[in-house]
């Protein structure tokens, strides 16, 4: 049996119980690792590709822009359940207490991000390069808005 | 300006040039971090939810199964460009040399995974719990097949 995969299975099995979303209840450190992974993946497709396209640092590629916007449509949904109350006291995270003291504002920041991603997806379907680049800029501001308020600087 | 986001921008800007897929050329250590993140996210939705459902360890939830299958449809595409030749000598990775010495076999293992995910997506649309659980089992075997051959045990 494969040790790495097995260890993941054991963590899932030992954690017991289940969360509302039908997840095996994850340990706080696992939730932090997963939410960081979701952020890393968003960074890959935004800062590693879309943003430099919008800034003219790499050539604009409409197909890649559309594909990455589609990836971000999924990825932008994935970090948030990792910010469970159980993770409040975790170290090695940039998360600020405001995440838990201002949950409505945190949710609004997530919604702004997802709205900006949806606008980018729509723009890539429209096929106008300037519109896509503007939507990329708005998406970057939505990233920044959330980091300004809820992540250590 | 936000330091964490800024540092990501600077890495993207300094890396210069661009890969075939219109990515700012990422450093090997960044590629390793990103591919690990993609694996972590697949693990979240497979081992943290779908697999324990199939094993009866958490209640079966058809809506969550369908949602997670949809997430995996995207996530199962994301690790592979992180296994660039430039990462061959990176430490702190479970990647085996076979990834680069047997590229056709590695690609076939990726394809098997994506085929298994597509079958799971189709099963969740069909609505038969036993079919979904069987598709989850097949997907687990596809994960294991790739780890058996291309990841350290």
- The reply to whether residue A23 touches residue B148, judged by beta carbons under 8 angstroms, is no
Task: Note whether B94 and B151 are within 8 A (CB).
Answer: yes
Q: What is the rounded CA–CA span in Å between residue B137 and residue B117?
A: 11
Q: What is the per-residue pLDDT across B82-131, written as a single tens digit (0 to 9) for each?
A: 999 999 999 999 999 999 999 999 999 999 999 999 999 999 999 999 99
List of long-range contacts for B65-72, beta carbons under 8 Å, 24+ apart: B65/B124, B65/B132, B65/B136, B66/B121, B66/B124, B66/B125, B69/B117, B69/B120, B69/B121, B69/B123, B69/B124, B70/A74, B70/B121, B71/A74, B71/A77, B71/A78, B71/B41, B71/B45, B72/B42, B72/B45, B72/B46, B72/B117, B72/B120, B72/B139
Q: What is the per-residue pLDDT across B33-76, written as a single tens digit (0 to 9) for each?
A: 999 999 999 999 999 999 999 999 999 999 999 999 999 999 99
**Residue of B10, B25, B37 to mutate when probing chain A, most A C-beta within 10 A:** B37
pLDDT at B6: 56
ipTM computed for the complex: 0.87
Q: What is the per-residue pLDDT across A27-39, written as a single tens digit (0 to 9) for each?
A: 999 999 999 999 9
Search chain B and give the residue with CA nearest A55. B13
What percentage of chain B reaches a pLDDT higher than 70? 84
Q: What is the per-residue pLDDT across A43-52, written as a single tens digit (0 to 9) for each?
A: 999 999 999 9
pLDDT at B20: 43
Q: What predicted TM-score, i.e. pTM, was given to this entire model?
A: 0.88
**Residue of B9, B29, B58 to mutate when probing chain A, most A C-beta within 10 A:** B58
- The token duo for B102 is 């047997």
**Residues in chain A within 8 Å Cβ distance of B152:** 4
Rg of chain B, C-alpha, whole Å? 17
């Amino acid at each position: 049996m494969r040790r790495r995969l097995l260890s993941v299975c054991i963590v899932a099995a030992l954690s017991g119980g289940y969360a509302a979303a039908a997840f095996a209840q994850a340990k706080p450190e696992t939730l932090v690792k997963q939410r960081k992974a979701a952020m890393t993946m968003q960074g890959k497709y935004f800062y590693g590709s879309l943003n430099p396209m919008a800034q003219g640092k790499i050539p604009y590629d409409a197909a890649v822009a559309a594909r990455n916007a589609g990836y971000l449509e999924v990825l932008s949904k994935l970090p948030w359940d990792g910010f469970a109350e159980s993770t409040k006291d975790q170290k090695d995270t940039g998360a600020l207490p405001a995440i838990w003291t201002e949950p409505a504002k945190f949710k609004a920041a997530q919604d702004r991000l997802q709205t900006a991603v949806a606008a980018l997806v729509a723009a890539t379907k429209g096929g106008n390069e300037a519109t896509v680049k503007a939507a990329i800029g708005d998406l970057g501001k939505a990233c920044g808005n959330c980091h300004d308020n809820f992540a250590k600087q």
